[in-house]
């Protein structure tokens, strides 16, 4: 009996050590953050600011010299900076824990056209990787499926939750489609020519996409057909309540994607990746198509691109009037999502105004994802999802968080990584 009791105690002790931090309780204490430089997320900055929030909502955002009573707990943030919580777009956070462990990988489904697949219900709110986002100010994310032609439906979550139901702040916001390339490479392992050449099947692939959505649209217009779940799930695209995120690169591909979507009656479009989008920026502006760029720390795709193409593309598109945000798809994307603010910092270091670069993670992303009515900026009436940093949040040397809140709840900034850092820091000090 004693062995059983000891085993249970050991189990709960170990479980406690390795488990994610317990989500914060609903806000019951008001907070006033005073003296910080407030970066509102919309391009505006308030020196010596006062940010107050109650019951999860911001109730005052202005100058600290205002003659107004401070509410609740006062946080002296003089010399520090306060920001809206950063939002990671086009991410698979919580869908994969360990790439090499197949049972923890749940980012895609078998099949080609899966508009009915919902990433949200696969989201692991207790992921150690998700937890590690918060110390850098990444407090929200769009959880996006991968694979196939039509990957499925994304949802937007906040990163301090018990489960996916608690986490969701916007459910089924968009359907994601991977647009085919007009070029292809031969399969060298089968003896084919690996050189890049036009894909003779490109037109057929495009016709397949048009046919699928046309059939879905006709199905939705009928009332006596047998229930078809995938077609049912496209309803939001045609009535305007859902967006179509088109993952595409290349002038021809982007032009075809936007043109065909409009022909089908799908008007809420977002372009993801967007290589060569700067060449057809007028088309994007005319059709009000925003772009979610890939992170800049990568090589240019084309031999004709400048060496700094991936660093300057955000400024180029912004100057042309395109609404731009920053996504995370790519190699080691879940781990790299914690570096989101520093990718924006790279754009800022290559010509983009610092506050405009900040918008790529705040108000711009919120607008693109359709959540700007309640997050994305430090404004009265919006969620108190924000953080205080000792310095510039876009610089990894100074992005040191002292406080963070999600919907007014004071969240833990402790993670598996911070525990290890403290552990080995103490070891070095002891020598």
Half-sphere exposure of 355 (CA within 13 A, CB side): 13
Position 210 in a domain: no
pLDDT at 12: 42
- CATH code at position 263: 3.20.20.140
Task: Please check whether residues 79 and 94 belong to one and the same domain.
Answer: no
Mean pLDDT of all residues in 91-120: 92
Position 135 in a domain: yes
Mean pLDDT of all residues in 222-246: 93
pTM of the predicted model over 0.85: yes
Closest CA to 257 of 233, 277, 242: 277
Task: Please check whether residues 400 and 313 belong to one and the same domain.
Answer: no
Per the listing, tokens 């059983």 go with 4
Q: How far apart are CA 153 and CA 130, in angstroms?
A: 20
Task: Please check whether residues 80 and 104 belong to one and the same domain.
Answer: no
**Higher-scoring residue by pLDDT: 299, 233:** 233
Question: Does the structure show a pLDDT above 80 at 160?
Answer: yes
130-151 pLDDT, tens per residue?
Answer: 999 999 999 999 999 999 999 9
70-97 pLDDT, tens per residue?
Answer: 999 999 999 999 999 999 999 999 999 9
Task: Please check whether residues 134 and 242 belong to one and the same domain.
Answer: yes
Name the packing angle between helices 309-319 and 340-349 (round to 10°).
80
- CATH code at position 384: 2.30.40.10
Position 2 in a domain: no
Task: Please check whether residues 329 and 390 belong to one and the same domain.
Answer: no
Q: Using only the alpha carbons of the chain, give its radius of gyration.
A: 23
Q: Provide the Cα torsion 317, 319, 322, 327; round to 10°.
A: 50
Position 288 in a domain: yes
Task: Please check whether residues 167 and 101 belong to one and the same domain.
Answer: yes
| Pairing mode, strands 45-46 and 37-39 | antiparallel
Q: Which residue range forms the structural domain that includes residue 133?
A: 86-179+226-372
Task: Please check whether residues 128 and 271 belong to one and the same domain.
Answer: yes
Task: Please check whether residues 126 and 250 belong to one and the same domain.
Answer: yes
Helix (H, G, I), strand (E, B) or coil at 272: strand
Task: Please check whether residues 251 and 149 belong to one and the same domain.
Answer: yes
* Tokens, residue 324: 């731009």
* Tokens, residue 307: 């060496």
Question: Does the structure show a pLDDT above 50 at 14?
Answer: no
Percent of the chain with pLDDT over 70: 95
pLDDT band for position 17 (cuts 50, 70, 90): very low
> CA distances (Å), 276 to each of 48, 203, 300, 339, in order?
42, 20, 11, 25
pLDDT band for position 20 (cuts 50, 70, 90): low
Position 305 in a domain: yes
- Residue 63 β-bridge partners: 49
Average pLDDT of the chain, as a whole number: 92
Question: Does the structure show a pLDDT above 80 at 199?
Answer: yes
Q: For residues 384 and 84, is the Cβ–Cβ distance under 8 A?
A: no
- The side-by-side arrangement of strands in the sheet containing 269-273 is 86-91, 138-143, 150-158, 168-178, 243-248, 269-273, 291-293, 324-326
Contacts with 8 (C-beta within 8 Å, 6 or more apart), sequence order: none
Range 278-309 burial, b when 16+ CB lie within 10 A, else e: bebbeebeeeebbbbbbbbeeeeeeeeeeeeb
Task: Please check whether residues 360 and 387 belong to one and the same domain.
Answer: no
* Tokens, residue 361: 């993670």
DSSP assignment, residue 431? Answer: -
Q: Concatenated DSSP letters for 65-121?
A: TS-----SEEEE-TT-EEEEPEEEEEE-TTTBS-TT-GGGB-S--SSSB-TT-BSGG
Task: Please check whether residues 290 and 359 belong to one and the same domain.
Answer: yes
If one counts the domains in the chain, the total is: 2
Task: Please check whether residues 380 and 235 belong to one and the same domain.
Answer: no
Position 124 in a domain: yes
Q: For residues 11 and 154, is the Cβ–Cβ distance under 8 A?
A: no
> CA distances (Å), 141 to each of 155, 219, 330, in order?
8, 33, 16
Per the listing, tokens 């103490």 go with 426
381-414 pLDDT, tens per residue?
Answer: 999 999 999 999 999 999 999 999 999 999 999 9
Position 199 in a domain: no
Position 425 in a domain: yes
């Amino acid at each position: 009996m004693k062995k059983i009791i000891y085993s249970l105690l050991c189990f709960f002790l170990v479980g406690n050590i390795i488990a994610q931090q317990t989500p914060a309780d609903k806000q019951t204490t008001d907070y006033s953050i005073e003296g910080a430089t407030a970066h509102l997320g919309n391009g505006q900055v308030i020196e010596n600011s006062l940010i107050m929030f109650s019951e999860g909502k911001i109730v005052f955002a202005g100058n600290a010299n205002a003659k107004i009573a401070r509410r609740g707990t006062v946080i002296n943030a003089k010399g520090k900076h306060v920001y809206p919580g950063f939002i990671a777009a086009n991410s698979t956070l919580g869908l994969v824990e360990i790439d090499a462990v197949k049972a923890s990988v749940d980012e895609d489904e078998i099949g080609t056209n899966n508009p009915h697949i919902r990433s949200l219900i696969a989201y692991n709110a207790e992921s150690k990787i998700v937890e590690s986002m918060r110390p850098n100010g990444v407090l929200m994310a769009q959880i996006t499926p991968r694979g196939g032609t039509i990957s499925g439906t994304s949802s937007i979550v906040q990163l301090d939750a018990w489960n996916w139901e608690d986490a969701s702040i916007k459910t089924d916001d968009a359907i994601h489609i991977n647009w085919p390339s007009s070029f292809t490479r031969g399969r060298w392992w089968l003896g084919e020519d690996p050189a890049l050449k036009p894909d003779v099947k490109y037109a057929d692939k495009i016709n397949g996409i048009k046919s699928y959505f046309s059939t879905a649209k006709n199905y939705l217009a009928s009332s006596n057909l047998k229930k078809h779940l995938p077609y049912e799930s496209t309803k939001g695209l045609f009535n305007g309540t859902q967006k179509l995120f088109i993952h595409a690169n290349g002038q021809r591909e982007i032009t075809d994607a936007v043109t065909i979507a409009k022909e089908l009656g799908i008007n809420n479009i977002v372009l993801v990746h967007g290589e060569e989008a700067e060449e057809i920026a007028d088309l994007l502006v005319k059709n009000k198509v925003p772009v979610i760029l890939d992170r800049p720390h990568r090589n240019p795709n084309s031999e004709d691109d400048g060496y700094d193409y991936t660093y300057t593309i955000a400024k180029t598109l912004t100057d042309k009037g395109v609404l731009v945000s920053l996504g995370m798809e790519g190699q080691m994307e879940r781990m790299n999502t914690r570096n989101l603010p520093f990718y924006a910092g790279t754009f800022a270091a290559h010509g983009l105004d610092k506050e405009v670069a900040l918008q790529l993670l705040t108000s711009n992303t919120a607008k693109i994802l359709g959540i700007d009515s309640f997050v994305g900026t430090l404004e009265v009436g919006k969620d108190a999802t924000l953080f205080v940093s000792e310095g510039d949040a876009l610089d990894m040397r100074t992005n040191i968080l002292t406080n963070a809140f999600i919907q007014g709840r004071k969240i833990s900034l402790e993670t598996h990584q911070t525990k290890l850092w403290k552990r080995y820091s103490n070891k070095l000090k002891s020598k």
